[in-house]
Amino acid sequence: MSKHISLHHSFFRPFLIMVFTQTASFLAWAFPSFDVLRKGFDKYWDIFSYSSVMFLMAYLTTLFTCYFFYLLGNRSSGSSGFMSYGVSKLEIIVYYYVVLIFSLIGVSATIGKIVSVQGVDFFYVSLVTGQANNLKETLYDEYSIGLMSLRYACILLMPLLILKRFYYSKSYFDVLPILLLFSIVIISSRLALVFSVFLSIYIYTKYVSPIRFSLMKVFIVSFLGYFLLSALNYSRNFGYYDQKGMGFFAAGFSEIITYLGAPFQGAIYVFGRPEKNINLTNYPETTIEFVLNTNSAFMHKISDFGQLGYFYILFFLAFCSFYVGWANKRKYLCFQLVSGVIYYCFAEFWRVFLFDQGIVITLVVLSFLCGLVFCFFKLFCYRQNVFDT
């Protein structure tokens, strides 16, 4: 029996990722609370109800759509001149420093906004008292799209840092992207950390090699990931879990169960009432906690558009599946960064519809902007032979 687990790039297929994440959501939904753990809802929705059957049919349709359009895009891409997955040092360096500059601008603007409103001491007080959510609330008070949106560029920094260290050079300054990413994770979103790790794995398996883990390493990495996410959760919600009498590890596990399981409850519920403007206040029979706002992509879009929301979802899934299939044989880094971003949207589909969200639009535009800058830079500087391309 093999004692190693390999993660190959072939795992990154829209339908495979969606099956994996939706299965995890179902298992978390079915996991018992033992009258101690937080589930995110109070009463199980009937798994044999009409809405559950409709959800199953709808989900199978989305999987077939993703499978069909991925194959269509992959077969239409051809192979001439695009089969090499190699990446040049020049390409890596240009992308890395372009994204680093945008990240510095975005993080500076974000911190500047909070400091201008609350002062420097507000950071320390919020963190040590387990109320880091106050930082996010301050950030989104009178929030507008602009320089602060560039903070999401930090998500692209980590995969580019990996390529830089593997193909070009290592430096003590490589700690800067890590600090930038964690500053954003603490201030506004744990999503940025998971997003960045996912994208890093995608780029690594695409350009470097499959990732091979021993069972011991899988256990250690899983525990460290659980510990880190629990720490971030505890820094935000210490007061809530303290009132519930839950310690650090119990709180972390409860948050994972809630995060994974509650969207399944929302998904099966919404197909029984495919109406506009569904919300947890008007429809308390879901028994989902009012504070939770990522309760399945289906609930989000059907609430926005009614039954047409399902076709809205199918359109995005079809288009994005076609793109990642088409881009699979494209060697340029911008295509692969965009594919990694889209794959993460598929990975999060069980709980939220990210495809049309600002964070994704920012990352997609920035990835193509890097490609454009690289083309111009190579056009004007290639003859100087500064880099070995």
Task: Specify if 172 maps to a domain.
Answer: yes
- Answer yes or no: are the C-beta atoms of 277 and 300 closer than 8 Å: no
Task: Specify if 10 maps to a domain.
Answer: no
Structure confidence at residue 209 (pLDDT)? 80
Task: Specify if 159 maps to a domain.
Answer: yes
In degrees and rounded to multiples of 5, residue 361 shows phi and psi of -60, -40
Alpha helices per DSSP H over 13-139 = 14-30, 50-76, 89-118, 121-128, 133-139
If one counts the domains in the chain, the total is: 1
Q: How far is Cα 40 from Cα 243, in angstroms, rounded to an integer?
A: 16
Which range of residues forms the domain containing residue 219? Answer: 16-384
Task: Specify if 389 maps to a domain.
Answer: no
* pTM metric for this prediction: 0.87
Task: Specify if 4 maps to a domain.
Answer: no
Half-sphere exposure of 311 (CA within 13 A, CB side): 4
Task: Specify if 2 maps to a domain.
Answer: no
Structure confidence at residue 81 (pLDDT)? 41
Q: How far is Cα 314 from Cα 354, in angstroms, rounded to an integer?
A: 14
Helices 89-118/358-381 angle, 10° precision: 140
Alpha helices per DSSP H over 144-211 = 154-163, 175-187, 191-207
10-residue averages of pLDDT along the chain (389 residues): 67 93 93 82 87 92 96 77 62 94 92 78 69 70 73 94 89 90 82 92 88 78 78 66 70 84 88 66 70 83 86 96 91 92 96 93 95 87 57
Span 274-302, pLDDT tens digits: 666 665 555 567 788 877 877 789 988 88
259: its two tokens: 């995060």
- 135 residue type, one letter: L
Task: Specify if 9 maps to a domain.
Answer: no
- Answer yes or no: are the C-beta atoms of 320 and 346 closer than 8 Å: yes
Q: Which of 286, 227, 293, 280 is nearest to 256 (CA)?
A: 227
Structure confidence at residue 83 (pLDDT)? 43
Task: Specify if 11 maps to a domain.
Answer: no
Q: How far is Cα 39 from Cα 29, in angstroms, rounded to an integer?
A: 8
